[in-house]
Structure 1
Amino acid sequence: MMKKTILTLAILLTVSVALSQTTISNTERKKALTHLKATQSELVSLVNGLEENQVNFKMDENSWSIAECLEHIAISEKNLIGMIQGGLEGESDPSKRSEVAMSDDQILGLITSREQKVKTRKEFEPTNSFDGFDGTLKAFKDRRKSNMKFVKSTDADLRNHFLQFPFGLIDTYQGILFMSGHTERHTNQIKEIMASANYPK
C-alpha cells in the first residue's frame, strides 16, 4: 500500500512539473535576447553621428529617408510588442501548435529578406511623430530596452499563445523574433540608402 501511494505521488509530481514548464527554455530566451541586442547595436552604430542632409536624403520621391526608416522601426517596436502582449491575454491553447506556419529560422528569414517589398499598415507609417532624429533614436532605444526587459523576465507561455499574421499563424515567441528581425530588415534598407550614388558623403 505504501509503495502504491509513493508511486502515485511520484506520478502526480511528474505531471505537475510537466504542466508547470510552460515558459520558454533558457536557450530560447538567450536566442531572442542575443538577436535583440545585436540588431539594436548594428542599427545604432550605423546611424550615430549622421548629418541632417544624410538622414533626410531620399533615393527617389517614393522612397523613405533614413529618418523615416528609423521612425518606422521605433513605431514598430511599440506596436509589435503591443500585439505580442495582446496575444498573451487569455488562456494558452496548445492545440493550435500544429497550425503554426513557420519555424523560428523561417520567420527570421522571411522578415529580414529585402527581396519582397511590402507596403506597411497605416499605423506603422512614419509621420514625424518624434522630436527630430535624435528623439526618434532615443525612443527606439528606450523601447528596445523595455522589450528586452520583458523577454528577460517573462514567465508567459510564449509558445502556446498565438498571433495571426498575413502569412499565417505564429506563436508569441516568434513574434519577438519577428520584431527583432524587422529591425534588421530596415537596417539593411538604411544600408541601401547609404550605398546610393547620390547619398551625401
Structure 2
Amino acid sequence: MKTSMTVLLALVFTGTLTAQTLSKTERKEAVKYINWCTKELKKSLKGLSEAQLNFKPAADRWSPQNCMYHIAFSEGALRGALDQALKAPADPKAKAELKTTDEEIKAMVVNRTNKVKTPEPFEPEKTGFKSLAEAVAAFDSKRAMLVDLVKTSNADLRNHIVTLPVGKMDAYQFILFIAGHSNRHTQQINEVKTVEGYPGS
C-alpha cells in the first residue's frame, strides 16, 4: 500500500497524470482542414464586384456579402462557446458516450440538405458589420486564433464537451465544426453564383 502511494505521488509530481493533449497527427489534420476551409472561402469572394457581392437569389435569401457577415459573426460566437467549454471541467464519462466520429462531424456541418433556421443574432443585418472588409478582418483575426489554439493548446480537447442544438461533440470536434461552418456558407456563396440573373461583373 505504501509502495503504491509512493508511485502515485511520483507520477503526479512528474506530470504523468496530466491532461491528455492532442497528438501531432490530430493537430496537423485540424490545421490542414481549417486552412483549407479558409482558402475556399477567400477563393469564393475573390474578385467579386459590388453588384455580385450584393446579389440575392430572392428577397429572403442571402447575398455573398450577407454570407460573409454571418460567417464572421459566427466565427466569434462559436469561439466563445468553445472557450466556455474549455473552462468547464473535462468529462471523460460524457466523452465515452459520444459515438460521432470526426469525419461525421465535418460531413454533417457542410451538408446543405439539412436546412437550419439561423438564430436572429446571427442574421447578417444583426451582426453589426458595415462592409465586407470589416467582416473579413474580423474573421481573419478569429480564424488565426483558432489555428493558434490547435497548434499550441495543452488543454484536454478530447474530454471537454460542447453541447449544441445539433448534439454533443468534444472540443476538438467542435473546432472542426467551426471550420466546417465557414465551408457550409462558402458552398452557399458558390450556389448564388449559379442562379439566373447573377451579374456577370
Report the TM-score when normalising by structure 1.
0.89
Kindly state the Cα deviation for residue 11 of structure 1 after the two structures are TM-superposed.
11
Contact 1:77 1:144 (8 Å CA) reproduced: yes
Q: For 2:55, which of 57, 62, 66 is the aligned residue?
A: 57
Tell me how far apart the structure 2 counterparts of residues 123 and 16 of structure 1 sit (CA, whole Å).
47
Matched, 1:31 2:29: yes
Tell me how far apart the structure 2 counterparts of residues 151 and 137 of structure 1 sit (CA, whole Å).
21
Identity fraction in percent: 38
Indicate the larger mover: 190-199 or 127-136: 127-136
Instruction: Count how many residue pairs are aligned between Structure 1 and Structure 2.
Output: 197
Contact 1:101 1:168 (8 Å CA) reproduced: no
The equivalent of 1:182 in structure 2 is 181
Give runs of aligned pairs for residues 1-201 of structure 1, distance below 5 A: 9=7, 13=11, 19-20=17-18, 22-127=20-125, 129-201=128-200
How large is the Cα RMSD of the aligned pairs?
Answer: 2.3
Tell me how far apart the structure 2 counterparts of residues 11 and 142 of structure 1 sit (CA, whole Å).
42
Deviations 1:85-139 (A, max 9, x none): 1001132111111222511111101001111111112222212622311221222
Partner secondary structure for residue 184 of structure 1: helix
Partner secondary structure for residue 140 of structure 2: helix
Indicate the larger mover: 128-137 or 185-194: 128-137
Contact 1:88 1:161 (8 Å CA) reproduced: yes
Partner secondary structure for residue 91 of structure 1: coil
Tell me how far apart the structure 2 counterparts of residues 126 and 69 of structure 1 sit (CA, whole Å).
7
- Quick one: structure 1 residues 21 and 164, their matched pair in 2 at CA, closer, same or farther if it must change by over 3 Å? closer
Tell me how far apart the structure 1 counterparts of residues 54 and 20 of structure 2 sit (CA, whole Å).
46
Kindly state the Cα deviation for residue 21 of structure 1 after the two structures are TM-superposed.
5.1
- Quick one: structure 1 residues 160 and 81, their matched pair in 2 at CA, closer, same or farther if it must change by over 3 Å? same
Deviations 1:31-75 (A, max 9, x none): 111111111111112202211110110001111111110111001
What are structure 1's unaligned runs of at least 5 residues?
none
Indicate the larger mover: 158-167 or 15-24: 15-24
Tell me how far apart the structure 2 counterparts of residues 130 and 167 of structure 1 sit (CA, whole Å).
27
Contact 1:159 1:171 (8 Å CA) reproduced: yes
User: What amino acid maps onto 1:71 in structure 2?
Assistant: Y
Tell me how far apart the structure 2 counterparts of residues 135 and 152 of structure 1 sit (CA, whole Å).
26
Tell me how far apart the structure 2 counterparts of residues 123 and 158 of structure 1 sit (CA, whole Å).
27
Tell me how far apart the structure 2 counterparts of residues 10 and 132 of structure 1 sit (CA, whole Å).
58
Tell me how far apart the structure 2 counterparts of residues 69 and 10 of structure 1 sit (CA, whole Å).
53
Runs of 4 or more consecutive aligned structure 1 residues displaced over 2 Å after TM superposition: 8-21
Tell me how far apart the structure 2 counterparts of residues 15 and 30 of structure 1 sit (CA, whole Å).
30
User: What amino acid maps onto 1:59 in structure 2?
Assistant: P
Contact 1:163 1:172 (8 Å CA) reproduced: yes
What are structure 2's unaligned runs of at least 5 residues?
none
User: What amino acid maps onto 1:105 in structure 2?
Assistant: E
